[in-house]
Amino acid sequence: MTQPISRDDIRAASERIRPHIRRTPVWTLPPGALGHDGPVSLKLEFLQHAGTFKPRGAFNTLLTQPVPKAGVAAASGGNHGAAVAYAARQLGIPARIFVPEISSPAKVEVIRRLGAEVVIGGQRYADALVACGSYIEETGALSVHAYDSVPTIQGQGTVALEWEEDGSGLDTVLVAVGGGGLISGIASWWAGRGIKVVGVEPEGSRALHASLEAGRPVDVTVESIAADSLGARNTGELVFSIARAAVEHVTLVTDASIREAQRTLWRDWRIASEPGGATALAALLSKAYRPQSGERVGVLLCGANVELSKLAEIC
């Protein structure tokens, strides 16, 4: 089956966005460091501009689409909005970001600080998406979708390209899933290359897991401590088609295990991670994903936009 997004597409995106993003480091831990007898490779993508991987897709979208006078608009739980705000500011484009009421105040403040107009309304991401769609229809602003979009997914796939170029031989990569743009890009890069791409979702926010079970995109209810970043109600057709062909499987983790992963990151390495950013690691620590002996496991640490007061409460 031909994938809708190729390695050549991702290479082209990498060249396009290279002047605008950080090449984030890879840190390989020795066997035994996380209770696994094989090496664990951590991709430190939380060091990206705006604190997550998302500027990759935002820049790729803005650099490949004509931008109207009305500028750009995006719906976001927080991180995507910050990325679009950052990319728009760097490129001199006006931006309006629609966020739900559950968005972290820290993330909303980042969006505002980066110069975008923020509109807060609705309980969940899906509500913000509807409001954003209405605004785009009225003004003609360019939509920058958080996940179910070809240029977004191409940009997110550059994470995997870098990981591979940095020489971290891997058997499996664990990737947190919200709407699925990140895992779709990563899976598109490694499709047919013998590397297992495993999605990790909170039990209370399982849009991709439920869709793969149903054999089609389906709506889910969302209730998780990671809902502001991993809170998509539906993956959409593009993400689903890529994941069905190229994602090995999706495993689920509890909110308690996500909190424990946050504690571990802070206690052992002083890494301040938001819940969504720690979700992939939670699968390894909680043994929701059980690697084979000696398996070379990659874990994507994808988000650092955490309120420090909340981090202090759990650590």
Are 87 and 67 spatial neighbours (Cβ–Cβ below 8 Å)? Answer: no
The whole model's pTM is what?
Answer: 0.94
Place 114 in a pLDDT band, splitting at 50, 70 and 90.
Answer: very high
Determine contact, residues 180/188, Cβ cutoff 8 Å.
no
For residues 236 and 157, what is the distance between their CA atoms, to the nearest angstrom? 18
List pLDDT tens digits, range 194-230. Answer: 999 999 999 999 999 999 999 999 999 999 999 888 9
Element (H, E) at 118: strand 117-120
Average pLDDT rounded to a whole number, residues 88-100: 95
pLDDT band at 1 (very low <50, low <70, confident <90, very high): low
**Tell me, what amino acid is at 5?**
I
Which residue, among 51, 83, 125, 96, has the nearest Cα to 302 in the 3D structure?
51
State residue 231's pLDDT score.
83
pLDDT digit string, tens, across residues 273-293: 999 999 999 999 999 999 999
Of 251, 258, 276, 254, give the one whose Cα is nearest residue 203.
Answer: 254
